[in-house]
Amino acid sequence: MSSCDGRIVVITGAGGGIGRDEALLFAREGARVVVNDVNAEGAQAVVEEVRGFGGEAVANSDDISDWDGAGRLVQTALDTFGGLDTLVNNAGILRDRMFVNMTIDDWDAVMKVHLRGTFAPTKHAVTYWREQSKSGDQRVARIVNTSSPSGIYGNIGQANYGAAKSGIATFTQILGEELWRYGVLSNAIAPSALTGMTEGLTGFKDRLDEIEARTGWKNPGGPENLVALVVWLGSPLATVNGQVFNVRAGHISVAEGWSVGPAYEKEGPFEVAELDGVLPGLVAKAQPQTNAYGVPKTYGA
């Protein structure tokens, strides 16, 4: 048996990039896949790829940031395949600018696709899973969200995207705490892959070129190198919950997130002058904030 035999999987933003490779691998692992993308032609092309090797798939072009559209997406899985087991929230856009040049439209567009576009399909899916659980037919359900290194570690020029992806990471954790009683596990990936969205990030491309030169690994930044983690998280094999995983070429790690560091406590209220003598020392004792590669960040004074 393959890891996802008979499972029904919905993937948003699957007409290209990481979503496409997620759809292909889920199908190869035995899943029946709903390929969602607002680019209907792209979604249908992925469906044809899946059918070309004997898999089962159907296209859906609804806007997942639209409440009714997200509902129709979930209903497509129910009507076509008779249920839903895994939701992969992958759809996303970039509107990168330095913050001083960022417009309200840049902000709103990213928040709509990433946050509303994660919430709406998830809410419809969870409503179905809760009803199934209450009727005594609890499914082995999985949510796989897509955060980003920008959302966990920050990245210059991506205040909107990083804020949205950070929200998705926290959303993932909270769902993990709330939904397990209905048979639903919630996890996320923070992927680094070379796709149409990231091809302009020269620093990342330089790292990939170094890996290729050192190892001979062709196209290490290809999204096909990342999606095994998504399929595992979306399968019954996964027992972890509420976690975010960094994933890039040849690397998977647990993103440990915020944790309570060095502390100062007293009985009674704080004074401003008192804190001036305490807080710099606390920060100096704390673990440094790092980028996605573990390199400590330097903030200008």
161 labelled catalytic: yes
Which phi and psi (to 5°) does residue 290 adopt? -125, 165
Is-catalytic flag, 182?
no
Of 161, 186, 192, 235, which residue is the catalytic one?
161
Exposure string for 214-223, b = 16+ CB within 10 A, e = fewer: eeeeeebbbb
For residues 94 and 59, give the distance between their C-alpha atoms in angstroms, rounded to a whole number. 24
Catalytic residue status for 147: no
Cross-sheet strand order for the sheet of 141-146? 56-60, 32-36, 8-11, 86-89, 141-146, 184-191, 244-248, 251-254
State the catalytic residue, choosing from 165, 166, 186, 235.
Answer: 165
3-state helix, strand, coil in the chain (%, to 5): 45, 15, 40
Helices (H) and strands (E) in the chain, counts: 11, 8
**Catalytic member of 3, 147, 148, 166:** 148
What gap in Å lies between CA 170 and CA 174, rounded to an integer?
6
Cβ neighbours for 135, distance < 8 A, ≥ 6 positions apart: none
Annotated active-site positions, please? 148, 161, 165
